[in-house]
Amino acid sequence: MRHSAWTSPFPGGKSESTELPQSLNRSQTDKRDFVAEISCTPAIFSAKEREAGARRVSLLSLSPRGLLCRGSQEMDETVAEFFRRTILKIPITEMMTVLKAWDFLSENHLQTVNFRQRKESLVQDLVLLCEEKRASLNDAALLDIIYTQFHRHQKVWDVFQMSRRPGEDIDLFDMEQFKSSFKKILQRALKNVTVSFRDTEENAVWIRIAWGTQYRKPNQYKPVYVVYYSQTPYAFVASSLLKSNLPLLGQALTVASKHHQIVKMDLRSRYLDSLKAIVFKQYNQNFETHNSTTPLQERSLGLDINMDSRIIHENRVEKERIQRVTQEIFGDYPQPRLEFAQYKLETKFKSDLNRGILAEREEPLRCLVKFSSPHLLEALKSLAPAGIADAPLSPLLTCIPNKGMNYFKIRDK
């Protein structure tokens, strides 16, 4: 819709008969059009509104593309800025891959851009290209999803589990219905929210939600990502700070996927694939490797095949036992990757010594033990063979992948 011609909307209070432009409501028009929200009758303009209106009008004339294509549809400043910041995040080495995955700019378009220039200029060129092709906020959100998919380890993922009422019928899952239902629920509760979807393999969908409030536009720079595996009751959520909207998110997920209840599991990590492996019990798959032909004994002692025969291990039997126990507990496969295990102790103090001060306390001693590591489970696996701990390890440590928890609360029985 084009702006209809109007005379100055600020006629200084006189009741001239001006043509009233149709009040252009953003939601009624195609999202891609740039629309000025100036619906006005002269008399009701206050000074403040006049000022705001003046600012908006000046924005129109000053925006770069406005000079070139007068009056045509153009990208909103905020959307352009969002594009700029999103593209700027992408490392140059990944730029082509990400843009190809996005599939919004075709090969021909990409060829017109010089990828060897400085990053700022490259980003500027790409943003202009997006403006020319009239990319919308949705396209920008999609690009953001793709960037996050490539860099999923930059966020910390929580795991949520949904459940149905016992005996409830499970209908066939319809992805489109899920998406529209999810979006409707959020939009009904919060007018200002941007929801975008991207389907991936294994019947999974990545959902990006930018939250706003009743009075404020969605904040595109603090979105929440949800990865939902439709054939399972599990969803993985990465939120950046805004915890207040999580109940609403949970509700939307539950209702849209036809479940009854949602519960947050005590499992958290940066490595989405590892969380998946733990939750779907896919981590204990034994793969055939080249080394499987070396005899167990030599492998277990961690020795080179050309080991010096002048070195004799006295505790060979014990070492083999440790290797065997470790292998029984942890298996041969690569462990899923976690960074933390946290144990909150609320137990009474137990002491072998005679009646110290702490032993007489009735209240539980509160204590927090946190294990952190770049790869926690591999580190635990190597504790006994390295001689730092006795084998078998405490079941509190070894139960982590089995129970699917890495945050524990321990109380006296």
Partner 1 sequence: MSVLRPLDKLPGLNTATILLVGTDDVLLQQLAGSMLKEDCASELKVHLAKSLPLPSNVNRPRIDLIVFVVNLHSQHSLRNVEESLHHVDASFFLGKVSFLATGAGQESHCSVHRNTVVKLAHTYRSPLLFCDLEVEGFRTTMAQRLVRMLQICAGHVPGVSALNLLSLLRSTENPSLEDL
Chain residues in the site for partner 1 (CB under 8 A): 302, 308, 310-315, 317-319, 385-389
Q: Least distance in Å: CB of 313 to partner 1?
A: 5
Question: Is the preceding peptide bond at 392 cis, omega within 30 degrees of 0?
Answer: yes
Residue placing its CB nearer to partner 1 in the complex, 208 or 319? 319
Q: Least distance in Å: CB of 388 to partner 1?
A: 7
Letter for the amino acid at 94? E
CA distance 77 to 63: 8
CA distance 266 to 399: 13
How many CA atoms are closer than 13 Å to the CA of 236, on its beta-carbon side?
A: 25
Letter for the amino acid at 332? D
Q: Least distance in Å: CB of 379 to partner 1?
A: 14
Q: Least distance in Å: CB of 404 to partner 1?
A: 31
Residue placing its CB nearer to partner 1 in the complex, 305 or 317? 317
Residue placing its CB nearer to partner 1 in the complex, 113 or 389? 389
Residue placing its CB nearer to partner 1 in the complex, 9 or 385? 385
CA distance 136 to 125: 17
CA distance 11 to 313: 98
Q: Are 287 and 353 in contact (CB under 8 A)?
A: no
Q: Least distance in Å: CB of 381 to partner 1?
A: 15
Residue placing its CB nearer to partner 1 in the complex, 303 or 399? 303
Structure-block tokens of residue 197: 């979807």
- Return the closest-CA partner of residue 249 out of 258, 240, 262, 260: 262
Q: Least distance in Å: CB of 185 to partner 1?
A: 52
Q: Least distance in Å: CB of 395 to partner 1?
A: 20
Torsion over CA of 353, 358, 360 and 366, rounded to 10 degrees? -130
Residue placing its CB nearer to partner 1 in the complex, 54 or 296? 296
Q: Are 209 and 186 in contact (CB under 8 A)?
A: yes
Compute how many other C-beta atoms are within 10 angstroms of the C-beta atom of residue 13: 9
CA distance 348 to 364: 4
CA distance 340 to 375: 9
Residue placing its CB nearer to partner 1 in the complex, 72 or 315? 315
Q: Least distance in Å: CB of 383 to partner 1?
A: 11
Residue placing its CB nearer to partner 1 in the complex, 92 or 369? 369
